[in-house]
Amino acid sequence: MHGALVFSFPVAAVTLVLAGVLVALGALAGYRAWKSSRITPEERERLRRTALASRGKLGDASLVDVRGEMVVYSYAIRGVEYTASQDVSSIREYLPAEESLSGPVWVRYDPKNPANSIVLAESWTGLRSRSPGVPQRRR
């Protein structure tokens, strides 16, 4: 064949190139699937609050301070004193007016890990300025 270009590649080289491309595409697809299935930190915190609000043990606590979007409180479980803070920025609308936040509150904690605790969730409030139950949103 005069004037025509003929490429001749060994079959093994073509197979290796195709296998490499398939491995790269598979790795890319796997990474994208793993990345999209991960839970965001905000969702993980919401799930933690929901679990503690529904299954956490109830105890007494004292509100120490409210600084912007952080609520600081202390409580004692089996003779151990805990001081904790909760970021309420994502559930700020469930907080009453700041001037009414003081004194005793209820805390929900994990009996297996008492340091894991909350005083406010979407479905529960330990702030005694309101009755316990589902908090109403501020307007």
Cα(53)–Cα(39) distance, rounded to whole angstroms?
A: 20
∠ CA 80-91-113, rounded to 5°: 25
Range of the domain at 75: 41-118
**Residue 24 lies inside a defined structural domain of this protein:** yes
Average pLDDT, the chain: 85
Q: Are strands 103-110 and 57-67 parallel, antiparallel or unpaired?
A: antiparallel
Q: Is residue 128 part of a domain?
A: no
Residue 132 lies in a domain: no
> Is residue 135 one of the residues assigned to a domain?
no
pTM comes to: 0.66
- Tens-digit pLDDT profile for residues 66-99: 888 899 999 999 999 999 999 999 998 887 766 5
Write the CA distances from 133 to 67, 72, 87, 91, 106, integer angstroms.
24, 21, 20, 15, 12
For residues 94 and 113, membership in a common domain is answered with yes
- Which tens digit of pLDDT belongs to each residue from 16-46? 888 999 999 999 999 888 887 788 899 999 9
